DNA sequence: CGCGATTTTGAGAGCCGTCAAGATACGTGG
DNA sequence: CCACGTATCTTGACGGCTCTCAAAATCGCG
């Protein structure tokens, strides 16, 4: 399933014209910051679904920002099972661990066609020295990831199967909505129910039956990857979620 | 159970004579770094078991480093249950979220008597501007927390109750050993089985029965807070852990 | 000695996992 | 256009891990 990683291609997307920057969700950059990032960026990488982007235990010389597409972080266990830790969406940063610890403790794989900005790890230190605001943004991104993992852990540790599913789908809606990947109570999910099972710590069979329970109760629809929320209040209630509006986020 | 937070007391421990610095596990500081941290530190706080240190949803003006004692991070749910995300040990940093997001998404409570170094949040920005190496350390700490949460999520999502218990105890041993809080296959845990249940997403009853299973199989002993590993290889095997030696860590 | 917190044990129910098989969808080659 | 293979989704049966309820035993402490 996992394919080889291609060599980075020349830059196609100028940072000054970065499509992510147009999204209302992202913070604006100073000229100096933009200039540094432009210089920081080594190239672009386009990978196909199923391609491994980072490998657990490895020590990639590259860091990535997702420009487009979906990926997912996961840990493999020796019995063949895996835990998906989180999905990575446009604007998310991949490989910070390799930079800080010289070692990934999880892998990352492309779920759809993915475009990545590529950065050389050995320039991260320059970022910290010359651009404290961007260093702060990196800390922001690391902390944001920590929050998501804490939320997932709470869902998996404390909630029933249908509640976990409701939680994850609503959570993804909230993350997708600001970049126009979701809207009008509709969310296009590029993953299979097997992926969902691995996120939520459930078996595939039970995941499927729980989804069926949610659909037959008219709480949501799930049609070939298109999820529609039919009763958002009830779903949010079972998932124990409130609808706080998130602040503007940074990205590198 | 939760008590009030006292006002910070004057500094008792000079950073230059910080007891943590004597531990082999922590990295050495440059003089300039030490000077800044000394200046950064606003005071010290001693709290009793059960005291709330940070509250979910709040926006504390203070950040903390644990000097001594155990605390734990947790999220509360409306039905009264809670998920403990992680324990905080000496050297761990508390409140980075409040600094980055203006809002904690989890609470922190003292498990034992705890001594904390107190830092004002509004000087964090100065740290990023003037001391890139310390900024990098903050990112290190945030990323380390992310790793722990990922490991917990994997244990809770993929492993049986006894395996989760084995995992958590071994994990804590590894964290305690470098600071002489554990050794010789013995670990002093200051938490109850109810805490353990809330970490692992298990009921108290089943947690107890699973511990009994581990003890009656002669894999470990659990005696009034003293855990002894009797068959470490087997425990590590069920917990799916390898024994990599961790690198030196920073602290603030 | 008495009380609350913690640990332990038993019984019964139910959520969820495993095994198995069928149905549906989709891409590929004939 | 059809046949076929693979991936994904669906359903049923059954077992067991884990939960809840309940109560007793033990510990810590005043």
Asked if residue A211 lies in contact with residue A164, where contact means CB atoms within 8 angstroms, the answer is: no
Is A156 within 7 A of strand D by CB distance? no
Concatenating the DSSP letter of every residue in A137-194 gives HHHHHHHHHHHHHHHHHHHHHHS-HHHHHHHHHHHHHHHHGGGTSEETTEEE--S-HH
Q: How far is CA A206 from CA A13, A25, A27, A97, A152, in A?
A: 43, 36, 41, 33, 18
pLDDT at A227: 97
A100-156 per-position pLDDT tens digit: 999 999 999 999 999 999 999 999 999 999 999 999 999 999 999 999 999 999 999
A190-220 per-position pLDDT tens digit: 999 999 999 999 999 999 999 999 999 999 9
Q: Do A96 and B147 touch (CB under 8 A)?
A: no
| Residue in chain A nearest B81 by alpha carbon | A158
CA–CA distance, A63 with B153 (Å, rounded to integer):
24
Any idea which nucleotide's C1' is nearest the CA of A194?
D8
- pLDDT at residue A241 greater than cutoff 90: no
For chain B, residues with pLDDT lower than 50 are 1-4
Tell me the percentage of chain A whose pLDDT exceeds 70.
94
pTM for the predicted model, two decimal places:
0.94
Q: Which residues of B touch A153 (CB under 8 A)?
A: 83, 85, 149, 152-153, 156
Q: CA A203, C1' C17: Å apart? A: 7
First-to-final CA distance of chain A: 30
Asked if residue B165 lies in contact with residue B210, where contact means CB atoms within 8 angstroms, the answer is: yes
Q: Residue A224: which pLDDT band, with cuts at 50, 70 and 90? A: confident
- pLDDT at residue A55 greater than cutoff 70: yes
B174 touches chain A (CB under 8 A): no
Q: Which residues of A touch B80 (CB under 8 A)?
A: none
Q: Do A139 and B135 touch (CB under 8 A)?
A: yes
Q: Do A154 and B97 touch (CB under 8 A)?
A: no
Q: How far is CA B71 from CA B51, B245, B249, in A?
A: 9, 24, 19
pLDDT at A1: 43
DSSP H or E segment with residue A83: strand A82-88
Dihedral, A55, A57, A59, A63 alpha carbons, nearest 10? 40
> Tokens 């997307």 appear where?
A13
Q: Which residues of B touch A106 (CB under 8 A)?
A: 150
pLDDT, mean of residues A50-76: 95
pLDDT at B2: 47
pLDDT, mean of residues A94-99: 94
Q: Residue A177: which pLDDT band, with cuts at 50, 70 and 90? A: very high
CA–CA distance, B213 with B220 (Å, rounded to integer):
10
Asked if residue B221 lies in contact with residue B185, where contact means CB atoms within 8 angstroms, the answer is: no
pLDDT at A188: 96
Interface of A with B in 133-152 (CB under 8 A): 133, 135-136, 138-140, 142-143, 145-147, 149-152
DSSP designation for A246: P
- The beta-strand segments (E) located in B127-229 are 182-183, 186-188, 220-223, 226-229
């Amino acid at each position: 399933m996992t394919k080889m990683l291609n060599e980075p291609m020349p830059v196609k997307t100028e940072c000054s014209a970065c499509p992510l920057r147009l999204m209302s969700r992202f913070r604006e950059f100073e000229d100096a910051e933009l200039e540094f990032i432009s210089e920081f960026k080594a190239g672009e990488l386009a990978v196909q679904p199923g391609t491994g982007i980072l490998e657990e235990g490895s020590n990639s010389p590259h860091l990535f920002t997702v420009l487009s597409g979906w990926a997912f972080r996961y840990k493999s266990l020796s019995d063949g099972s895996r835990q998906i830790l989180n999905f990575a969406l446009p604007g998310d940063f991949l490989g910070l661990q390799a930079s800080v610890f010289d070692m990934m403790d999880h892998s990352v794989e492309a779920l759809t066609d993915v475009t990545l900005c590529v950065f050389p790890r050995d320039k991260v230190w320059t970022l910290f020295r010359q651009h404290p605001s961007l260093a702060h943004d990196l800390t922001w991104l690391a902390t944001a990831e920590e929050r998501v993992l804490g939320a997932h852990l709470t869902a998996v540790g404390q909630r029933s199967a249908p509640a976990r599913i409701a939680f994850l789908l609503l959570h993804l809606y909230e993350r997708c909505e600001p970049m126009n990947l979701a809207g009008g109570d509709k969310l296009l999910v590029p993953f299979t129910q097997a992926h969902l099972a691995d996120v939520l710590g459930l078996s595939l069979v039970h995941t499927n039956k729980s989804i069926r329970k949610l659909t037959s109760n008219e709480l949501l629809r799930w049609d070939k990857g298109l999820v529609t929320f039919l009763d958002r209040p009830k779903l949010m209630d079972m998932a124990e979620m409130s609808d706080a509006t998130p602040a503007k986020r940074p990205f590198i």
